[in-house]
Amino acid sequence: MKSLDEIAAALQGYDPQALSVDQVNAFLAELVQPVSAHESQDVYLFDALGRVLAQDVDSPIHVPAHNNSAMDGFAFDAAQLKVDQALSLRVVGTALAGKAWPGKVNVGECLKIMTGAILPDNLDTVVPQEFCQLASAQDVTTITIPPNILKAGDNRRMMGEDLMQGQAALKAGQHLTPAALGLVASLGLPDVRVHRRLRVAYFSTGDEVLSLGDAPREGAVYDSNRYTVFGLLTRMGCEVMDMGVVRDEPAQLEAAFAKAALEADAIITSGGVSVGEADFTKAMMKKLGDVAFWKIAMRPGRPMAVGRIGKSVLFGLPGNPVAVMVTFLAFVRPALLRMMGSTAQPAPMVRARCLEPLRKKAGRTEYQRGFVSSAADGTLQVRTTGNQGSGVLSSMVQGNGLIVLHHAQGHVAVGDEVDVMMFEGAI
Name beta bridge partners: 193: 42
Residue nearest to ligand AMP (CB): 319
Is there a contact between 229 and 324 (Cβ–Cβ < 8 Å)? Answer: yes
Q: How far apart (Å, rounded) are the C-alpha atoms in residues 304 and 324?
A: 10
Rounded to 5 degrees, φ, ψ at 110 are: -145, 170
> If binding is defined by CB under 5 A, does position 321 make contact with Mg ion?
no
DSSP string, 17-28: TSB-HHHHHHHH
Choice between 250 and 310, CB closer to ligand AMP? 250
> If binding is defined by CB under 6 A, does position 319 make contact with ligand AMP?
yes
Q: Judged by CB under 6 A, which of 67, 274, 327, 395 binds ligand AMP?
A: 274
Choice between 55 and 224, CB closer to ligand AMP? 224
In the bound complex, what is the minimum distance in angstroms from residue 277's beta carbon to Mg ion? 5
Q: Tell me, residue by residue from 167 to 206, as one string, x for binding to Mg ion by CB under 5 A and - for no binding.
A: ---------------------------------------x
Half-sphere CA count of 173, side-chain side, radius 13 A: 11
In the bound complex, what is the minimum distance in angstroms from residue 324's beta carbon to ligand AMP? 8
Choice between 321 and 399, CB closer to ligand AMP? 321
Q: How far apart (Å, rounded) are the C-alpha atoms in residues 237 and 195?
A: 11
> If binding is defined by CB under 5 A, does position 301 make contact with Mg ion?
no
- Binding to Mg ion (CB under 5 A) within 215-274 occurs at 271-272
> If binding is defined by CB under 6 A, does position 272 make contact with ligand AMP?
yes
User: Angle at the Cα of 194 (from 191 to 197), degrees rounded to 5?
Assistant: 130
Which residues are within 8 A (CB) of 218 and not within 5 positions of it... i.e. 6 or more apart? Answer: none
Q: How far apart (Å, rounded) are the C-alpha atoms in residues 157 and 160?
A: 9
- Binding to ligand AMP (CB under 6 A) within 186-215 occurs at 204, 206, 208-209
Q: Tell me, residue by residue from 217 to 236, as one string, x for binding to ligand AMP by CB under 6 A and - for no binding.
A: ----x-xxx-----------
Q: How far apart (Å, rounded) are the C-alpha atoms in residues 177 and 424?
A: 14
Choice between 321 and 370, CB closer to ligand AMP? 321
Is there a contact between 346 and 333 (Cβ–Cβ < 8 Å)? Answer: no
Q: How far apart (Å, rounded) are the C-alpha atoms in residues 12 and 2?
A: 16
- Which positions lie near Mg ion, rule CB under 5 A? 206, 271-272
- Which positions lie near ligand AMP, rule CB under 6 A? 204, 206, 208-209, 221, 223-225, 270-272, 274, 277, 318-321
